[in-house]
């Protein structure tokens, strides 16, 4: 799937922000890192109406969950009646079981396009390999967001820290702190946004997803440039705050989605 038509304007946005913040470039917080963080936040605000709709749909589903479980217990052996009763409940509550899926489907190509931008900044952001090689790409303990976080650069340790992260010299790698954070925040986000389970099979599938997804994100985060892990962590933190606000809102639970 070629998403250049989305990735190119996103890369232009990252470059625009980079040019704006290049004057505050520092040893531990580069303009490149700042541009990734700001671009991620802007991107999350752009898709905020969609994610809010998805979050409200999940909240409504949680409110309907006790009644759905009652129907499951009462009509579990009669699938046709169970489905009809569930649809009647959805209609009565003015809820569509597909209302949370459409926003996610719309967002997915945009998320992948942003992934392309951060994975290949030379192509989509700077359009010049020489320029990209000369800019500062540090972020706190990470010397270069263009490399994997567990990469140890020539020069060894600096004040107990490797130039790529916390050092594990006996393994020859740096400890991927940001990758660990990306896995933890993915776990928290997955738990917080999980739909209620109506039966043991759904619950088992959800538990598997809650376990495997953070592990996958961690593995990806130590294999791809650290800039991607930074993007993922910022995106997860934004999502967590948004979800907590929605779930703890004092709005009428019967509000239309």
- Structure confidence by residue, pLDDT tens digits, 81-118: 878 887 888 888 777 766 666 666 777 787 788 888 88
At residue 12's C-alpha, the angle toward residues 31 and 239, to 5°, is: 70
Cβ neighbours of 107 (radius 10 Å): 16
Of 158, 156, 136, 155, nearest to 146 by C-alpha is 136
Q: Of 32-46, 68-82, 107-121, which has the strongest mean pLDDT? A: 32-46
Alpha carbons 11 and 143: distance in angstroms, whole number: 22
Lowest average pLDDT, out of 7-11, 105-109, 222-226, goes to 105-109
Question: Confidence class of residue 156 from pLDDT cuts 50, 70 and 90?
Answer: very low
pLDDT at 160: 36
Q: What is the DSSP string of 164-209?
A: TEEEETTTTEEE-HHHHHHHHHHHHHHHHHPPPPSSHHHHHHHHHH
Q: Mean pLDDT throughout 159-177?
A: 51
Under DSSP, is residue 29 helix (H, G, I), strand (E, B) or coil?
strand
At residue 48's C-alpha, the angle toward residues 225 and 110, to 5°, is: 45
pLDDT at 256: 40
The whole-model pTM stands at: 0.76
Question: Confidence class of residue 222 from pLDDT cuts 50, 70 and 90?
Answer: confident
pLDDT at 202: 64
| Contact of 189 with 242, CB cutoff 8 Å | no
| Contact of 214 with 186, CB cutoff 8 Å | yes
Question: Confidence class of residue 254 from pLDDT cuts 50, 70 and 90?
Answer: very low
pLDDT at 242: 84
């Amino acid at each position: 799937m070629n998403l250049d038509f989305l990735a190119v304007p996103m890369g232009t946005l990252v470059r625009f922000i980079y040019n704006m913040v290049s004057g505050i470039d520092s040893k531990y917080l580069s303009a490149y890192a700042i541009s990734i963080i700001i671009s991620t936040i802007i991107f999350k605000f752009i898709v905020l109406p969609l994610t809010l709709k998805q979050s409200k749909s999940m909240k409504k589903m949680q409110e309907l969950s006790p009644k759905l479980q009652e129907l499951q217990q009462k009509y579990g052996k009669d699938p046709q009646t169970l489905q009809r009763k569930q649809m009647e409940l959805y209609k009565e509550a003015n809820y569509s079981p597909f209302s949370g899926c459409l926003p996610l489907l719309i967002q997915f190509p945009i998320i992948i396009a942003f992934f392309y931008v951060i994975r290949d900044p030379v192509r989509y952001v700077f359009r010049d390999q020489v320029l990209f090689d000369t800019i500062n790409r540090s972020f706190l303990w990470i010397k270069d967001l263009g490399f994997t976080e567990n990469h140890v650069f020539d020069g060894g340790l600096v004040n107990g820290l490797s130039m790529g992260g916390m050092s594990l010299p006996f393994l020859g790698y740096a400890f991927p702190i940001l990758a660990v954070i990306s896995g933890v925040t993915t776990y928290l986000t997955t738990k917080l946004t999980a739909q209620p389970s109506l039966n043991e099979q759904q619950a088992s599938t959800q538990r598997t997803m809650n376990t495997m997804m953070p592990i996958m994100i961690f593995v990806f985060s130590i294999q791809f440039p650290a800039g991607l892990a930074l993007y993922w962590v910022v995106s997860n933190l934004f999502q967590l705050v948004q979800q907590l606000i929605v779930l703890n809102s004092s709005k009428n639970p019967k509000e239309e989605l």
